[in-house]
Amino acid sequence: MSGGGARYERYEREQFEPEQFLLDVRKEKIDRVVSHRTRNFTVVLDRLEDSFNMAAVLRTCESMGVQEVHIIINPEAPFVPNSRVAQGCDKWLDVKLYRTFAECREHLKSRGFSLYASAIQEGATSLYTLRFDGKMALVFGNERRGVSEDVLAGVDGTFWVPMKGFSQSLNISAAASACISRAIAWRDEHLGQSGDLSPEDAQALRERFYVLAIKQRKRLFKKAP
């Protein structure tokens, strides 16, 4: 599903430039979105099983500027986000699928990420004391069982969301929303901005978004082989 998802094929340009089919206001919107995108903060979903939760987390990530979402597949529940909840947001994201957490961890560690799993346990760090100035991945677990044992054994630490009411846990989509909002707000406050793409990455993403923003793109661009 990387690069906009299986339903959003890459298109090769022929004689058309996508910019000519977009209003200036639309291009300005895309440029602003790209300027706020981050690849240094990301989310990992460990074997979710509810399609509504899958879609809700993707929508939160896209709306908050998180470009990548990493998915450990649940063999009993394929990763098929509910389309009515997602509202097509997955086409703007890089959604990467893995068979095991070990594969996901290896990929993120090779890029310099620290991984923290959401888990209420002794020694867990409060969400509000985490720093988001480095490369950080937050891992959220299955709706019933939480994160798996291999996740707990492979992360750099665990964290929890402090509660002030009688309820001591949140639905996965609500927990992810709270944590993602906190991370992006922290980056805005402490770094001055949440976006961190390189000029080359930003340009490549901008060009991709220009094509995806054209409603009749399938008629204008030939499908890449």
What does the pLDDT look like over 73-100, one tens digit per residue? Answer: 999 999 999 999 999 999 999 999 999 9
Structural domain includes residue 33: no
Question: How far apart are alpha carbons 208 and 202 in whole angstroms?
Answer: 10
Phi, psi of 146, deg, nearest 5: 75, -160
In a domain, 43, yes or no: yes
- Residue at 222 is within a domain: no
Domain hosting 44: range is 39-215
d(CA 65, CA 38) in angstroms, rounded, equals: 6
pLDDT at 114 over 60: yes
Q: Is residue 18 part of a domain?
A: no
Q: Who contacts 222 (Cβ-Cβ below 8 Å, separation ≥6)?
A: 11, 12, 14
Half-sphere exposure of 123 (CA within 13 A, CB side): 6
Among 85, 64, 83, 109, which residue's Cα sits nearest to residue 5? 83
Cα distances from 111 to residues 36, 53, 95, 171, 225, in angstroms, run 20, 27, 16, 30, 30
- Structure token pair of residue 38: 């981050």
- pLDDT tens digits for range 17-68: 777 778 889 999 999 999 999 999 999 999 999 999 999 999 999 999 999 9
Q: Taking 50 as the threshold, does the pLDDT of residue 224 lie above it?
A: no
pTM: 0.88
The pLDDT, as a whole number, for residue 225 is 34
In a domain, 19, yes or no: no
**Residue 93 domain-assigned (yes or no):** yes
Q: Tell me: the pLDDT tens digits for 124-171?
A: 999 999 999 999 999 999 999 999 999 999 999 999 999 999 988 899
Residue % of the chain over a pLDDT of 90: 81
pLDDT at residue number 13 = 45
Report the pLDDT value the prediction gives residue 23, as an integer from 0 to 100.
Answer: 86
| Tally of domains within the chain | 1
22, part of any domain: no
Rounded Cα distance between 66 and 58, Å, is 9
14 in a structural domain: no
CA-CA distance, 55 to 47, in Å (whole number)? 14
Residue 99: CATH number of its domain: 3.40.1280.10
